[in-house]
Amino acid sequence: MDELVMTTAMIYHKADLLENCVAENMKDAPLIQRNVTPYEFMESRWWDAAMAPYFKLPLAFDGGAGVPVDEKWAPLGTRICVYIRKAVDILIRHNELVDIFHDLRSKEPMNEVHLAARYGGLAAVKNYAVACAACVDEVATCKCIAGDVSHDYATDLAIGSVAWYPIVPHYRVLTQLAETRHLTRSKYTALAAKTNHGAFITSDMADSGEHGAFHNDEWESLTTLTSLEPFISGECQHCGVISDWVINRCLYRDDRKEKGKTLRKFVMDALHLKRDKKMDGFFGEILTIAAGDEFPAFLVKQCITAVEAVWQTLRAAGTDLPPNVVAGQVVENHVRIDKAFIETHNHPGAHALRRALSGTLSIMMDRTDVSPYPRILDAAVIHSIKMGSVINHGKV
Ligand SMILES: [Zn+2]
Ligand SMILES: [Zn+2]
């Protein structure tokens, strides 16, 4: 209850500040002689985003849901493991990306990408989306002392965050992808051709670093990148990396051994040196394997239909479907996904199916040539550079 009151007070105070700022009634703030640090910003951003009620209420209502928590329902893993911390914070970071244009337009000051660009320049923001994608796979594979339950909980949050924004219509993620795709098309076409494994991209794969934030206190990026060279011979690293993403995101830790082998073989058969980026049925087959024989066929089919429909819309949004048609399909897909999730709750043990459902959605949104997070960020960067160039030539 204290946190609900605090959240309300924070949002009220922020609205008051903004109103005064827009009316130019702001008194100069006292100088602290330095920039705000990433941790300081994230602390206030948590209140701004109402994160405490979002995360703590479900745990409190479910007695902790088996996740180790402290007396205030804060998951203990967030204090032990930087990857768990970043997995929890990722809901904010995805929000910064999908609102990267809207926050400027609406004079919203609380956006980490904008702040990082203000203090650290282009180098501080250009890898922000791929660092977010890395966070998901890092927490899914971390073997530190925080334990499997805490890591699985954090992985659920992270993949849920990836899937959430493009599925929920009001964020207009796929519409933004469609509206800006002309700016990023050539880059992502080239990256997919270089990988040559369906729509997947194995260049600019990030390591988000061993810090709890994406930047140091001077807002220098801590993200490093690696890229795979095109396959020539021997064991294929591309198939290996893509299989890891599929297994880590679609299976819980105690479910990976046997199904993991089957998924690895399936990925290699379906993708190795295959140019077809449409990948019809690829994500549905992952769901089939992840589900095993534990659930009714109609339920698995319902999940497959919903996921494949999202993939079709995502692909079309990244290629040639008009934005208004994309927007309509997103609404229909949202209903399909919601109905599938709701139906799973009628079947005991279906958390494994929900994990695969969210996992497949998260993979297509993070690791392909139509992934909206890196493409929208790239579009914003390209657009900013173009605008800067126009202004510098005195045309505006
Ligand atoms: Zn860990
Ligand atoms: Zn391969």
| CA separation for the pair 194, 313 (Å, rounded) | 24
Q: What is the pLDDT of residues 5-56, one digit of tens each?
A: 777 777 777 777 777 777 777 666 656 778 899 999 999 898 888 888 888 8
Give 145 Cα–ligand 1 centroid separation in angstroms.
7
Q: How far is the CA of 100 from the centre of ligand 1 (A)?
A: 30
Look at residues 171, 177, 172, 162 and name the one whose alpha carbon lies nearest to residue 129.
162
**For residue 75, is it within any domain?**
yes
Report DSSP state, residue 361: H
Q: How far apart are CA 309 and CA 178, in angstroms?
A: 17
Ligand lying closest to the C-alpha of residue 267: 2
Report which residue type is found at 143: K
Give the ligand whose atoms come closest to the C-alpha of residue 232. Answer: 2
Q: Residue 223 domain-assigned?
A: yes
User: Nearest 10 degrees: CA dihedral of 155, 156, 157, 159?
Assistant: 80
ipTM reported for the complex, 2 dp: 0.98
- State pLDDT tens for residues 351-360: 999 999 999 9
Ligand 2 centre distance from Cα of residue 391 (Å): 46
121-157 pLDDT, tens digit per residue, is: 999 999 999 999 999 999 999 999 999 999 999 999 9
Please tell me the number of the ligand nearest to residue 77's CA.
1
Instruction: Give a yes or no: residue 29 inside a domain.
Output: no
Distance 143 CA to ligand 1 centre (A): 6
Distance of CA 194 from the midpoint of ligand 2 (Å): 12
pLDDT, averaged per 10 consecutive residues of the chain (396 residues), comes to 73 77 68 86 89 83 86 85 96 97 87 95 96 98 95 96 97 98 97 98 97 96 98 97 98 95 98 97 98 95 98 98 98 98 95 97 98 98 84 61
Q: What is the pLDDT of residue 51?
A: 84
Residues with CB under 5 A from ligand 1 (ion): 81, 83, 142, 144, 146
Ligand nearest to the CA of 82: 1
Query: What is the C-alpha to C-alpha distance for residues 264 and 241, in angstroms, rounded to an integer?
Result: 10
Q: Residue 214's closest CA among 355, 50, 34, 41?
A: 41
Q: Is 3 contained in some domain?
A: no
Ligand 1 centroid, distance to 157 Cα (angstroms): 14
Residue 355 lies in a domain: yes
Is residue 26 assigned to a domain?
no
Looking at residue 19, its pLDDT comes to 78
| For helices 148-167 and 128-141, angle between their N-to-C axes, nearest 10 degrees | 150
CA of 155 to the centre of ligand 2 (A): 26
CA of 148 to the centre of ligand 1 (A): 9
| Number of separate domains in the chain | 1
Identify which ligand lies nearest to the alpha carbon of 151: 1
Per the prediction, the chain carries an average pLDDT of: 92
| Predicted pLDDT at 394 | 58
Question: Are 114 and 93 spatial neighbours (Cβ–Cβ below 8 Å)?
Answer: no
Ligand in closest contact with the CA of 202: 2
Q: Which ligand is nearest to the CA of 198?
A: 2
87, 103 Cβ separation under 8 angstroms: no
Q: Which ligand is nearest to the CA of 230?
A: 2
Please report, to the nearest 10 degrees, the dihedral formed by the alpha carbons of residues 239, 137, 161, 192 taken in order: -30
Residue positions counted in the chain: 396
How many Å lie between the centroid of ligand 1 and the Cα of residue 153? 11
Question: What pLDDT does residue 283 have?
Answer: 98
Q: Residues of 348-385 as b/e, b for ≥16 C-beta within 10 angstroms? A: eebebbbbbbbbbbbbbbbbbbbbbbbbbbbbbbeeee
Does the residue 23 lie in any domain?
Answer: no
Q: Who surrounds ion ligand 2 at CB < 5 A?
A: 236, 238-239, 272
Domain housing 182: 36-392
Residue 83 CA to ligand 1 centre (angstroms): 6
Helix locations, the chain, DSSP H = 2-22, 38-48, 51-61, 77-80, 82-98, 102-105, 112-120, 122-125, 128-141, 148-167, 173-195, 237-250, 257-271, 282-291, 297-319, 323-344, 351-366, 372-392
In a domain, 27, yes or no: no
Return the CA Rg of the chain: 21
Which residues, 6 or more positions from 23, have their beta carbon under 8 angstroms from its beta carbon? none
